[in-house]
Structure 1
Amino acid sequence: MLTPDQVTALEIYLAHLRLNIDPMLAQKYPTFAGKPYPLGRCKEVRNAIHHALKAALAKPQVDVALQPLKALLDTGLTLEPVWGSLRDEYFQNALLVGPWYIDAANDTVNPNKPRAEIRLLAESGFGAITSFEQFIKIARSYWEVDIYRNDIFPALAPFIPLVCVNKAGVSWFAAANDDMILVALDSAFELVEQVLPSLSSPPCELTEKWHRAALRVDMPSPLLKAQTRDATAMCRHYRNEGKHQDIGFRDEVVLAYLSLPVNV
């Protein structure tokens, strides 16, 4: 376990790391949804800190502040990047090592907060997102979006079932990350099928906009073409076909999604 003094020293170390990496990240990611860096950039900050920590921990002489962390890792624990929910208020990217939650992007929602925070995981309010209802609840308030079911590309919907639209009318598909795709797969698409009836179909003009975007894709996947089944029926069809156990098909779906614009 880390002592309070060790936690404070590590938080200070992480804050200094941020001072080194922030100028580079701010130049690369100056804004997010119209908000200045670091707002909304928790993933990018977490990834940069993770990379910097691994490099620092691999040095022959490890900084004094890092020695307690290295001691934990020397017991066989790992420094794992994680994504999930923070108190069901925010999506959060953090690092976990054993019982410890390390947030080196603590200021990416409120810039007045300290850059780094370390807490026991059990006291942090961080946890996995285990349903699409939970994801939607967070996304609606955190991203300030309307959310529709993915009737635009039904063949993608069992894996990526949601369409988000922000106040500016910009839309994108969700939840297009490994964690939420795994929620879909582990439930054999039942959790997707469960949430779809609670959502409205997207407006016709939005569907048409995405279909036009798909027409501009070089060698578009058949998964982006018109389907005879709707999103709910696709969940049942894929389950009957065992697609939740087919990693190759999962990759095909992801590649089809990645061929589309990030947003329209």
Structure 2
Amino acid sequence: MTPPLLPQEIAPVTARQVALTDRFLSFRTDRLMRYFLTLRAETDAALAPRLPKAAGQPYPYGRCEEINNHLFARLAERVARPANAMDRAIRDFVAAGGMVRTVWGVLRGRYFQNALQFGGLYVDVSNDTVVVTKPKVEILPIAGSGLVPVRDLAHFRETAALYWGATVYANHLAPSLAPLLPMVSASPGRLLPAFQSACDYMIALMGRDGFQEAEAWLRDGPAPPAEVADALLASLPDDLRPQADGRAEAVAACRLARAEGRAMDNAWRDARVRDYLRAMRARAAA
């Protein structure tokens, strides 16, 4: 039996989705490109003035998630109240059963990337957020896009090393968060140390096997070095810190979460995410 799709997982392209994509969208590729370039320009006007530099580089570098989510929200509003031919074409595609979803994964073996899936089409509206000279929008068949789901923690770590220049450690610093966020990344000179990965896909992936992969990494993975640990612990709320042995407490948190069936407990998941956001706010205020 095929497991259900994870949030933002690339959906299989069925024969029906291919037919709907061909019927409503594929023959309009040039107009689709102009449509999304217009939406992207509007997103840039909204986001560029208020987003700070990422890894020391100005917008749009590193802002694929923000761009993708902002544009997708506005697209939903437009489709609900169509004002032009492309709004109506996308509305009709969805009404006929066409799939539209945000997706996230590893792009061409090297980058984490957010994009949109329209049936059989991959629409990357933040194509210039790694190499800023690339076209802002890319539209391709899903099969030729090079976007694949993150398979496991090893795949995530490999990509983080290539994309961010990151070394990844086990999260022994916030044990209660460790079942969902079992990693700590450090990218000296680029990105601040961070708990990984607070995206919907990775959080759901950790729960799919009852936190067993997270537990194995927390048990066997390297502890963060002192400078990384100090950077994260400096502002971490007291109730999220380890009481004594962070490794043992993180492993125990995975076992308890599995025993209590927390993988399917949305309220528990949301509480852990709120704890993570509280930690991030405390860090920003420090």
Q: TM-score range by the shorter chain?
A: 0.7 to 0.9
- Counterpart among 35, 48, 53 of residue 57 in structure 2: 35
- 1:226 paired residue number: 243
Unpaired segments of 5 or more residues in structure 1? none
Matching of residues 125-144 of structure 1 within 5 Å: 125-144=146-165
The answer (yes or no) to whether the contact 2:98–2:119 under 8 Å persists in 1 is yes
Whether the aligned pair in 1 keeps the contact of 2:170 and 2:218 (CA below 8 Å) is: yes
Given that residues 107 and 115 in structure 1 are in contact (C-alpha distance below 8 angstroms), is that contact kept between their aligned partners in structure 2? yes
Mean CA deviation greater in 141-150 or 76-85: 76-85
SS of match in other structure, 1:13: helix
SS of equivalent to 1:28: coil
Q: Distance in 1 between matches of 2:65 and 2:255?
A: 33
Corresponding residue of 1:11: 33
Partner of 1:242: 261
In 2, the alpha carbon distance for the partners of 1:177 and 1:191 equals 17
Give the aligned partner of residue 173 of structure 2. 152
Q: Deviations over 1:181-228 (max 9, x none)?
A: 1111111001212333553101134334433312xx4xx54x434155
User: Which stretch of the first structure deviates more once superposed, 1-10 or 37-46?
Assistant: 1-10
- Structure 1 residue 54: deviation in Å? 2.2
Q: 1:115-134, aligned counterparts within 5 Å?
A: 115-134=136-155
* Number of aligned residue pairs: 258
Q: Is the 8 A contact 1:15 1:115 kept in 2?
A: yes
Letter in 2 for 1:243: R
TM-score of the aligned structures, taking structure 1 as reference length: 0.87
Match in the other structure for 1:194: 216
Deviations 1:8-67 (A, max 9, x none): 22112211222222122110114211111111111111122212322332335423x444
Which ranges of structure 2 fall in alignment gaps of 5 or more residues?
1-20
Map of 2:75 onto structure 1: 53
Deviation at 1:175, TM superposition (A): 0.9
Distance 1:19 1:205 in 2: 41
- The one-letter code matched in structure 2 to 1:132 is L
Q: How many Å separate the matches in 1 of 2:234 and 2:273?
A: 19
More divergent stretch after superposition (15-24 vs 154-163): 15-24
Whether the 8 Å contact between 1:56 and 1:62 is mirrored in structure 2 is no
CA distance in 2, matches of 1:34, 1:72: 41
* Residue aligned with 1:163, SS: strand
- TM-score (norm. length: structure 2): 0.81
CA contact (8 A) 2:94 2:100 kept: yes
2:104–2:201: 8 Å Cα contact kept in structure 1? yes
Q: Identify the match of residue 114 of structure 1 among 135, 142, 150.
A: 135
Aligned match of 2:126:
105
> What SS class does the counterpart of residue 150 from structure 2 fall into?
coil
Amino acid at match of 1:9: R
Partners of 1:158 and 1:235 within 8 A in 2:
yes
Superposition deviation, residue 75 in structure 1: 0.7
- What do you get for the CA RMSD once the two structures are aligned? 2.4
- Letter of the 2:175 counterpart: P
Amino acid at match of 1:53: L
Provide closer, same or farther for how the CA distance between residues 248 and 74 of structure 1 changes in structure 2, counting only shifts above 3 A: closer
Alignment deviations for residues 155-204 of structure 1 (CA, whole Å, 9 cap, x no partner): 22111111111213721110112211111111100121233355310113
Q: Secondary structure at the match of 1:95?
A: strand
CA contact (8 A) 1:29 1:37 kept: yes
Question: Match of 1:81?
Answer: 102
SS at the partner of 1:33? coil
